Amino acid sequence: MTDPRLLTDRERPAVRVERRYDHPIDRVWRAVTAPESLAQWFPSEAEFELEPGGRVRFGGFEGESASGAVLEVDPPRYLSFTWGGDRVDFELRAEGERTVFVLTQHFDDLGGAASFATGWEMCLAGLSDVLAGAEPAPSGSAVERHEELVARFGLDEPEVTRTGAGWHVRFERQLTCSAETAWDLFFGVDRDSGEQRRAPAISEEFRPPQAPEVLLGTATEVDAPRVFAFKVAAGEPGDEVRLRLGEGTGHGARLFLEVRGGDEAELDEAVEQWGAGAVARIAGEAARLAA
C-alpha cells in the first residue's frame, strides 16, 4: 500500500491515492463504475452516464453535491468526472492479471486535504473487499490516520506574512470534533474544580486553563461557539489574537486562528505559543475524544 500524496504543483490542489488489486482490469472497471458496486464502497450511491458530458447522480447529497458530469471516459482505463465543485479521476492500468487503480481528487479546499485522503483510503479498503466478493468491513473513524496525514502534508504549518505594519500568522486546521467541542477545549477546565471554563465576556481578562495565574489579554469579541478575540497583554507575544470556528469537510469544524504583531522579535514565540500551545493541543484532544 502506498501513502496518499498531496499534489500542489498544478492549478488546484489534489490528493492522489494508489492501490493494486489482484484482479483483472475489466473486473476493477466494473467495480468502480457499476452502480451496484459503487453503492458498496463509494462515499455514496452513484450512477454514471458513461459518455463525455453524461450526468452523474450522487445519492444522499443535496444541491451542487448531488450531481456532476462526466468529463472524459476511456473504458476500462480512465474516467474523469465532477462532483460539486471538485473533479475526480479514476485511472486503471493492467499489470498482468493485477490492476493498478489511481484515484485523484482535485479541489480548492487545501485545509481539507487530509480529510479527503483519509476518506478515500477507507473507501478503497472497502473496494478491496468488494472485489474479493466480501462485505466491506466497518471503516471506523481513522482519526489517528487523519492527524498523521495532516502532519505529512504540512497542514499544521502556519502561514506567515509581513507588512509594513508588522507580521500576521494564520493557522488553519480541520478538526475531528464539532465547533462546540473545540470551543470548550480552547477554554479548558478549571484546574482546581475540574469544571468547564466559560469564555470571558468582552473587556474581561483571558487566562490559559493550564496556567490561570498568567494573563494572556483582554477579550474584545465573543460569539460562542464561533468567534473569540482578545488584545494581548504586555509581556505576551503579539498584539491581537482571533479564533474562529467555521464549517469543515463534514468530519468536524474548521479552526482558524490568527495572530497579529508589530515586533519581529516576538514572531517565533507567537508561532510556538499559538501553534503548539493552542492549535495542536485542541486538534490532539479532539482526535483523542473522537477515537
Q: How far is 42 from 40, CA to CA, in rounded Å?
A: 6
Provide the pLDDT for residue 1: 67
Q: For 27-33, what is the mean pLDDT?
A: 98
Provide the pLDDT for residue 65: 76
Query: Is residue 260's pLDDT more than 80?
Result: yes
Residue 39: CA count within 13 A, CB half-sphere: 7
Q: For 124-145, what is the mean pLDDT?
A: 88
* Cβ-based neighbour number of residue 74 at 10 Å: 10
Provide the pLDDT for residue 145: 95
* Nearest alpha carbon to residue 104 among 71, 57, 59: 71
* pLDDT confidence band for 139 (50 / 70 / 90): low
The percentage of residues in the chain with a pLDDT greater than 90, rounded to a whole number, is 85
User: Which value, to the nearest 10 degrees, does the dihedral of the CA atoms of residues 272, 274, 279, 281 take?
Assistant: 70
CATH number given to 5-152:
3.30.530.20
* pLDDT confidence band for 138 (50 / 70 / 90): confident
Residues carrying CATH 3.30.530.20, the chain:
5-152, 159-290
Beta bridge partners of 20: 100
53-71: pLDDT as tens digits: 999 999 877 777 789 999 9
| Whether residue 158 has a cis bond before it, omega within 30° of 0 | no
pTM of the complete model beyond 0.85: yes
DSSP 277: I
193-216: pLDDT as tens digits: 899 999 999 999 999 988 889 999
95-131: pLDDT as tens digits: 999 999 999 999 999 999 999 999 999 999 999 999 9
Measured CA distances, 32 to 7, 27, 45, 80 (Å): 23, 9, 12, 12
Q: For 162-176, what is the mean pLDDT?
A: 95
Given 3.30.530.20, 3.30.2230.10, 3.40.190.10, 3.30.470.30, which CATH number is that of 159-290?
Answer: 3.30.530.20
Query: Is residue 140's pLDDT more than 70?
Result: no
